[in-house]
Copies of this chain bind each other. A is one copy, B any other.
């Protein structure tokens, strides 16, 4: 990191602190729902300061989103790779770490990304921001797929045969929990949901249930 010393008035606010505040506004209201008045008020700065520091609303959103990923997503990863811990326990710890955050009263309930991703279809999210949100969406699923295909225990349990499907199931459960958390469902209740989806994955769900006359068991 290069620090260039220049003369001029010093910035009164801390960029990271302001970014944290912006993140919370987008987390609660989404990109479209968050107005510049909302943002600058929470960031405790005025519009020219915001524009000179971050560019515009979209650029601020992109930085806030990256801030969320760095500070609110990656922190849970440790639980997934704890040594000498059964796979199921590691998955549960990881998922409950996320669910705990979704239900916390310290910050907006639910998931920043789930909310903003759901705004894309409305057509009011600028292209670059939209692209970022879509790109991010593959990361958690890829993480699960890697785990199911490389973890010794996963392979010995045969879970790697349905790595894609199992990963999608867990990721879908997390998104469902995000929606539930936003409606104020407690993490205690959602723990049961996590247990259930993990039971389904570990029980093996290969015996597909018939739908009408056709049977579905392929993932494309």
A177 contacts B by Cβ under 8 Å: yes
Task: Give the bracket for the number of chain A residues in contact with chain B.
Answer: 35 or more
Given contacts A93-B212, A192-B165, A200-B199, contact A183 B117 (CB under 8 A): yes
In the complex, which residue of chain B has the Cβ closest to the Cβ of A195? B205
Q: Name, among A119, A179, A201, A218, the residue most crowded by chain B CB atoms within 10 Å (CB to CB).
A: A179
* Chain B positions within 8 Å of A172 at CB level: 173, 176-177, 179-180, 190, 193
B197–A197 touching, CB < 8 Å: yes
A29–B124 touching, CB < 8 Å: yes
B193–A196 touching, CB < 8 Å: no
Q: Mark A100-115, 1 if CB is under 8 A from B, else 0.
A: 0000000011100011
A185 contacts B by Cβ under 8 Å: yes
A30–B122 touching, CB < 8 Å: yes
Distance in Å from the Cβ of A125 to the closest Cβ of chain B?
10
A166 contacts B by Cβ under 8 Å: yes
Distance in Å from the Cβ of A115 to the closest Cβ of chain B?
5
* Chain B positions within 8 Å of A186 at CB level: 220
* Chain B positions within 8 Å of A211 at CB level: 89, 92-93, 96, 191
B122–A29 touching, CB < 8 Å: yes
CB interface residues, A 57-110, toward B, < 8 Å: 88-89, 92-93, 96, 108-110
A198–B195 touching, CB < 8 Å: no
A118 contacts B by Cβ under 8 Å: yes
A178 contacts B by Cβ under 8 Å: yes
* Chain B positions within 8 Å of A192 at CB level: 162, 165, 168-169, 205, 216-217, 219
Distance in Å from the Cβ of A118 to the closest Cβ of chain B?
5
